[in-house]
Structure 1
Amino acid sequence: MSSVNRFIQFNNETINAKHMIQLEQLARALSRSPYLTLTVRKLMEFRPKEGAISISHFWKHRDSDIEKKGQLSDLYLLTAGFWRYFDLSAWNRYKEEVNHLPIREFALQLAMSAEEFRLSNLIRHQRPGTETAFVVREDVYSIFHEQQMTVNFNKGFISDSLFSFLYIALRKGSHITLLVDEYPIYFKRILSKWQFVFDSKSTADSCQICLDILYALEEELTKDLTHTFVSLHENLQETVYEDKNKRQIEQENSDNSPSSESIEEMFRTWHRENKKQQGPHLEFELTKGNKGKINDGRIEEGDESNEIDNEGTGTSTSNKKSKQLGEVNGKTDKKRTKQSGERFGDEHQNVTFEEKKINLRTDSNVKENIGIIRLQQKPLVKAFTKEIRKRIDQKQESKRTRLSKGRLTPNLTSLITDQRPKPFYKKNNPSLPMDAVFGLLVDSSASMIDKMEETKKAVLLFHDVLRNLGIRHDIVSYFEDAYEASENEQPNTFLFCHQVEDGVKDHSEAIFSLDAHEDNRDGLAIRWMAERLYSRSEKHKFILFFSDGEPSAYGYAANGIIDTAEAVIEVEKKGIHILHLFLSSEEPVEEQLQLFQMMFGSKTATAKNVDEFTTQTLRLLRRMLYLVVK
């Protein structure tokens, strides 16, 4: 199963997609940055180039309450603390001061530890509701560093042991002196300088305290950290200032006001730059130029009077592969591809997609197979259609009586007994087609190859039932071309077996032309189908989603689960109902069931073997249509 940005390649853990989405929304709210994304890494990180922050994997495999509160404490520190109250100018000056030291990494991580303590106290004061999360954080990390202090000292990693000692000193106070009786004397000596962190009011204050400690340790400590305890500083690139003399000015942040040179501003700067790089840049058409010609390897000097031999068209991310020319049987074939851009989510910025009708198979046995399968399914289709029509009729009265005009009722006593008699009635008009539209998405990834035949039967059943009920619907197969996918472009294809515009036409041959291809980008497919249905006028809109596994595509394995869960939430907010059927050729394991519940919540069903595909399809259709006729 997939995990979020695995820092260990063999780590095969699943994530709680709904919980991650909630944390990401909280991060965006606290930072007031709607573009911010959240991932899980080994340690807390800022990644401004990607517009992302990362909480630590440290909290995994713990009690569920500790895990949630620990992750919240990471989030509070990143978005409510470092985001606005960490001064990048003071940090850059500190980096210059410690660059020449043999214990440079110790110096950088120590300053970050001091800032974490200062900012956690600031957040607690501003937001009292965060107190419980920080209490859990300090308890767990204190136990961790007590263990690390002893282990690292015994191994001879003195810098690592000292770092853990100083971390505990801020949380345990005088209790720490009992732990270091057998340690070097300078462990206790530098506590007199370290205790000033309690009074630190700014990043500059924390950095100055760390500098004082480093100078005191200059002759004592010669070997740098062996382990990495903090990685927040690794992606904080130095900001470029218009006036470099400003860097020499000491800023006083005693009022804890947000720094103008903050991580928030750095993220916004990167975000603005990324936005500028999108769009129709470098699009051009060469219709004249001064370039010289090349004749027999000789270069001729350019001349404006030269005639044009060739025309070239430039491309960019906005129109990439919008026109692709290829020779097919001696004829020029144009592919009409579209750019996903931002409308289908951040994970699909570089996706190009093509919409086309499926190519029909020429196999002579197809029609015969369809006839046999329809004969087998006929009782199911007939019974189901009858059930739905009966349910519709129960909601309607057979005729409307006591009308001023219409047909004369046989019982005319009301002419005598009523002061204003209404002896007429009208029969109800024949029931109109149900006010609903369906979109069926069929995962056509390579893993579907052993399930495709049974899937076709289920899709045919879906098609026949909706045709009998006069309900318009889409049937679309989707996949990504894994062989052509790259970092700059991921080509996807949507193949129509049946379109809403086709009404009740029979497209059974198109359904039986379905085939397995390569990868599946589920979040994209759901948003794409939702866009089609959202523009329709029908009152009830449904997406039925057939798949046999988790999403998998180029650069999508890490965040595919979260992106699909987000797509489901977005679609339901638009008033479109979505149901998922997990197609499995064998009994699904608990881990698989939990994965799909994360993505689809209660709106997922499971076919335990291929024989259940059709019966589960009917069950889901019944569930959907009951919403229409209730």
Structure 2
Amino acid sequence: MRFVENEVDAFLRMQLLDLAKALTGIEDLGLELSYLSYYNHREKLLAVSQFWSYYPEEIKLTGMKTDVYLRGIGSSWFTDSTVIASYLDWIKSIRLPMLAKQWLALCEERRLMSLCLRHRPGTASSLSMRSAMYAKHFAGKRASHSDRGEQADALLSGFAEAIYRNRNLDALEGLNGLLAKLPGDARPAIERLLIDLKNDQFKSTQELAERCKALFTLLDDWNGLGGDSRAQYFSLQKDSGTDEPLSWEYIGELKRKKKGMHESVLPMKQEEERPQQGERLPTWHRETKKQEESLLRFDSEQGSKAGLLSDHVREADSGDQALGIVQGSSQAAQRNEPELPATQPLERMDTGLSGKADAYGALNRKAVPVFRPAEPPDADAYIRYNELHKGIAPLIHKLKQTIRMTMEQKRIAPRDELLSGRLSRKLVRAAWEPFPRLFYKKSSPSTEVDAAFCLLIDCSASMYDKMEQAHQGIALFHESLRALRVPHEIIGFWEDADEVTESSSPNVFHVVTDYISSLTDSAVGPKLLQLQAEQDNRDGYAIRIASERLMLRPEKQKVLLVFSDGEPSAADYHEEGIVDTCEAVLRSRRSGIEVVSVFLGNGEIKDTERETMRNIYGRHSVLVPDVADITAQLGPLLRKMLLSKL
């Protein structure tokens, strides 16, 4: 079961995901809101804890960013996943496995905080806030666990409080009684572990794991804790790290090596072919379409694998474009092969993120567009549409008159002696007039609306009780724009759930009318009655497809209207659908398309529905509480948009 109230803001989620991709260097990294924060390098997933969801917005944003810092800078680069897996196998044989697992997770988080401060000093203020909030949180948890007699959880909470407050265990009230009961060298071992963590003595996950094993070996035969830990505050998984962790002493940029897009292997040549005189190294390659800084580097960095017997680079040439900028006029007498540097960087370090993003979003890789033209309407469709048209005719006439009057006023308005525009040559009046009108407008106003509209209608199953009223709004949209000679397109969209397979997800686009026939075909009105409730809806994909078609129009201004009754829902599209739709909306707006949503309610709009529409479309959303009032709501919206396009 999924609760809408617990969904993260789409803009915030996109911000966190971009930050996580930048820090980890993984282009196809996923991000989710989970109970605990963790990183899984096998699934390429970074989770942000819901711990911060109930704090004020400023603290919430900073706290979630610290989760990304610790996992993106720390776990994905410096945590040894093989050590973690070995440690998790070891704790299966002891009496306190849950406590031991969380103990190592807590200590590793403290070690990663120091690494974050070393590599990203700008995270200091955020991590300081995180420590203060966690210290206060675990202080309360320690007291509550002590009152309930949960000694293992009280010990873990007290140790966490000491770490985040940067204090000794003796300074914690109510914990000394429990520490005094610890057997043998257990308390000195905990105190030494705390001191070494503060002094950044642990250089690897292996060292931390060995110390934790030694500590819980001392506690294994003692029954004073009354059982294992019950609460879970920290997450530790077998894949919580990387197979090739960096060393503590590593200093440099955290960037991953790019993988070749093509796995083809070039054949070995029997005889080396010497380049002819005047031949140049090609500077374009299918792997390097994206332009990047190439100073002191060749443009072609990837491609097919070559069976070279050496890792040496080729000889430099005075005509090489990449080296010509810095080579100068002087050259060496003998062009020997350049020597390799003494210290080689790690193989995993290279140029970072440069992969080509999916044009339709990562969640829509299986989506396949299926365009379905409208069928010729029958006589009954004409009769029903004529009755519908009679109800909206007054609104159409009023809207048409308003637009025509506005255009006429602009046409007859004076074109000279204005306060803004082009500067005229008659500047004498500037000498005696306090507010001289020295400007004029050269071009005459247009007699037509230079805009193209596209209307997307959500034909999901949830629209079954709203589609009849929605036809009125669609008809008002069509007839108004047709009267003003504005080209427009009407498309109903849904995903055919019965045809979804592991490799494809057919998305049907029912094209009622295109931009050309919208002004010439008299049967468009009856055709729109063919739009009915169908199955699922993949809004982000539909918006991308409609935007592509809209961008082909020559009009100066482009508008996309989306009729929907809620959040998107399709196969493998439930959790991330809101974020994907928001990304599609932002991409369309960056392309110059004005995207507006018309939300159709069932009498009362819930706060969760308002929040969902705000997350996706921002302030460009019109909420219609009762779908029966759609014409009253859509009329002013059309008038406002058309007047803004004049």
TM-score by length of 2: 0.72
> Which stretch shows the higher mean deviation, 37-46 or 430-439?
430-439
**Distance across 1 between alignment mates of 2:634 and 2:71:** 46
8 Å contact from structure 1 (residues 439, 542) kept in 2: yes
Alignment equivalent of 1:170, drawn from 160, 163, 185: 163
8 Å contact from structure 2 (residues 78, 247) kept in 1: no
Alignment equivalent of 1:131, drawn from 107, 116, 124: 124
Q: Aligned residue for 2:72?
A: 79
8 Å contact from structure 2 (residues 204, 247) kept in 1: yes
Q: Aligned residue for 2:365?
A: 349
Q: Aligned residue for 2:590?
A: 573
Alignment equivalent of 2:630, drawn from 591, 609, 613: 613
8 Å contact from structure 1 (residues 442, 476) kept in 2: yes
Closer, same or farther: CA 256–192 of 1 in aligned 2, 3 Å = farther
Closer, same or farther: CA 238–573 of 1 in aligned 2, 3 Å = closer
8 Å contact from structure 2 (residues 38, 240) kept in 1: no
Question: 1:143 aligned to 2:136?
Answer: yes
Question: 1:19 aligned to 2:12?
Answer: yes
Question: 1:369 aligned to 2:384?
Answer: yes
**Distance across 2 between alignment mates of 1:171 and 1:496:** 60
Q: Aligned residue for 1:193?
A: 192
The within-5 A match list for 1:56-455 is 56-88=49-81, 90-91=83-84, 94=87, 100-152=93-145, 157-172=150-165, 173-174=167-168, 175-183=170-178, 184-186=181-183, 188-194=187-193, 195-198=195-198, 199=200, 200-220=202-222, 224-236=228-240, 239=243, 253-257=247-251, 342-360=358-376, 362=378, 364-396=379-411, 433-455=448-470
Question: 1:469 aligned to 2:487?
Answer: no
- What is the CA distance between 1:458 and its match in structure 2? 0.9
- What is the CA distance between 1:496 and its match in structure 2? 0.6
Unaligned runs of 5+ residues in structure 2 are 264-356, 417-442
**Distance across 2 between alignment mates of 1:74 and 1:204:** 22
Alignment root-mean-square deviation, CA: 3.4
The within-5 A match list for 1:469-548 is 469-485=484-500, 488-504=503-519, 505-506=521-522, 507-548=524-565
More strand by share: 1
Q: Aligned residue for 1:41?
A: 34
Q: Aligned residue for 1:284?
A: none
Closer, same or farther: CA 138–400 of 1 in aligned 2, 3 Å = closer
- What is the CA distance between 1:562 and its match in structure 2? 1.6
Q: Aligned residue for 2:348?
A: none
**Distance across 2 between alignment mates of 1:342 and 1:225:** 45
**Distance across 1 between alignment mates of 2:148 and 2:93:** 26
Closer, same or farther: CA 276–101 of 1 in aligned 2, 3 Å = farther
**Distance across 2 between alignment mates of 1:229 and 1:399:** 72
Closer, same or farther: CA 399–18 of 1 in aligned 2, 3 Å = closer
8 Å contact from structure 1 (residues 108, 233) kept in 2: no
Cα displacement string for residues 152-191 of structure 1 (whole angstroms, at most 9, x for unaligned residues): 4566654433322322222331254533232123463333
Q: Aligned residue for 2:46?
A: 53
**Distance across 1 between alignment mates of 2:467 and 2:631:** 13
Q: Aligned residue for 2:640?
A: 623
Question: 1:459 aligned to 2:474?
Answer: yes
**Distance across 2 between alignment mates of 1:140 and 1:398:** 63
**Distance across 2 between alignment mates of 1:30 and 1:54:** 14
**Distance across 1 between alignment mates of 2:34 and 2:502:** 21
8 Å contact from structure 1 (residues 85, 257) kept in 2: no
Closer, same or farther: CA 252–574 of 1 in aligned 2, 3 Å = closer
TM-score by length of 1: 0.73
> Which stretch shows the higher mean deviation, 489-498 or 120-129?
120-129
Q: Aligned residue for 1:563?
A: 580
Give the percent of matched residue pairs that are identical in Structure 1 and Structure 2: 27
8 Å contact from structure 2 (residues 41, 242) kept in 1: no
- What is the CA distance between 1:376 and its match in structure 2? 2.9
8 Å contact from structure 1 (residues 545, 579) kept in 2: yes
Q: Aligned residue for 1:287?
A: none
Give, as a single letter, the amino acid of the residue that structure 2 aligns with 1:512.
Answer: L
**Distance across 2 between alignment mates of 1:203 and 1:535:** 55
8 Å contact from structure 1 (residues 580, 604) kept in 2: yes
Q: Tell me the SS of whatever aligns to 2:369.
A: strand
**Distance across 2 between alignment mates of 1:11 and 1:433:** 44
**Distance across 1 between alignment mates of 2:609 and 2:615:** 10
